[in-house]
Amino acid sequence: MKKLPLKKAFMLLEPGPVILVTTSAGGKNNIMTISWHKVMDFTPQFALLTGPCNLSYEALVKTRECVIAVPTVDLSRKVVRIGTCSGSDTDKFEKFDFTPLKAKAVQAPLIKECLANIECRVTDHVAKHGIFVLAGVQAWIDPGRKERGTIHANGDGTFVVDGRRINHRRLMLSKLPPGV
């Protein structure tokens, strides 16, 4: 993993891919799969939506930090299976053969096998709506990774893989944040 400028981190989540979120509480690493997230600011700031029905929620409330890892299509079966079991009785890193890497600013681990990782701190919790507000503090990317296509959940168990790219930079210049 190589450092990615923080001002570019929002670009990993803006397209809306399915992500993994790692936490570490009580010396125990965990991973959850989530599709309900959104960019809130270029700083970067993200909103993550999850409720008290899972172990990661407890860890987010308790530790107020996490890592957002961006998986690619070659990992899609693992990503789905991670979302259908619980960290309460499963060591997900071991079960799914993922390698935890030490993060720089948070206790939660990076996932070596993912395309990118963003270390985040919880800056607010809008409990009424189940929204965690996250500030990215350090971002990493695997520049050598061959497969870079992410997946987008349709909500019915099917997923759309990234297809072709189109470029409207010239049309959008007035709206682009500096440095991207």
Q: Which residues bind a copy of itself (CB under 8 A)?
A: 10-11, 14-17, 35-40, 42, 47, 49, 73, 76-77, 80-81, 83-84, 124, 126, 128-131, 133, 149, 151-177, 180
Which among 3, 2, 12 has a CA at the least distance from the CA of 134?
12
What is d(CA 137, CA 134) in angstroms, rounded to the nearest whole number? 9
Please say which residue, 47 or 101, places its beta carbon nearer to a copy of itself. Answer: 47
CA angle 104, 43, 127 (to 5 degrees): 85
Provide, rounded to whole angstroms, the least separation between the CB of residue 136 and a copy of itself.
13
Provide, rounded to whole angstroms, the least separation between the CB of residue 71 and a copy of itself.
13
Please say which residue, 103 or 151, places its beta carbon nearer to a copy of itself. Answer: 151
* Residue 69 near residue 56, CB atoms below 8 Å: no
Provide, rounded to whole angstroms, the least separation between the CB of residue 97 and a copy of itself.
17
Please say which residue, 80 or 101, places its beta carbon nearer to a copy of itself. Answer: 80
Provide, rounded to whole angstroms, the least separation between the CB of residue 131 and a copy of itself.
7
What is d(CA 160, CA 129) in angstroms, rounded to the nearest whole number? 27
User: Cβ contacts of residue 171 below 8 Å, gap of 6+?
Assistant: none
Please say which residue, 40 or 122, places its beta carbon nearer to a copy of itself. Answer: 40
- Burial environment of residue 110 by CB neighbours within 10 A (0 to 12, 13 to 18, 19 or more): buried
Please say which residue, 24 or 30, places its beta carbon nearer to a copy of itself. Answer: 30
What is d(CA 173, CA 77) in angstroms, rounded to the nearest whole number? 38
Provide, rounded to whole angstroms, the least separation between the CB of residue 39 and a copy of itself.
6
The backbone torsions φ and ψ at residue 112, rounded to the nearest 5 degrees and listed phi first, read -60, -40
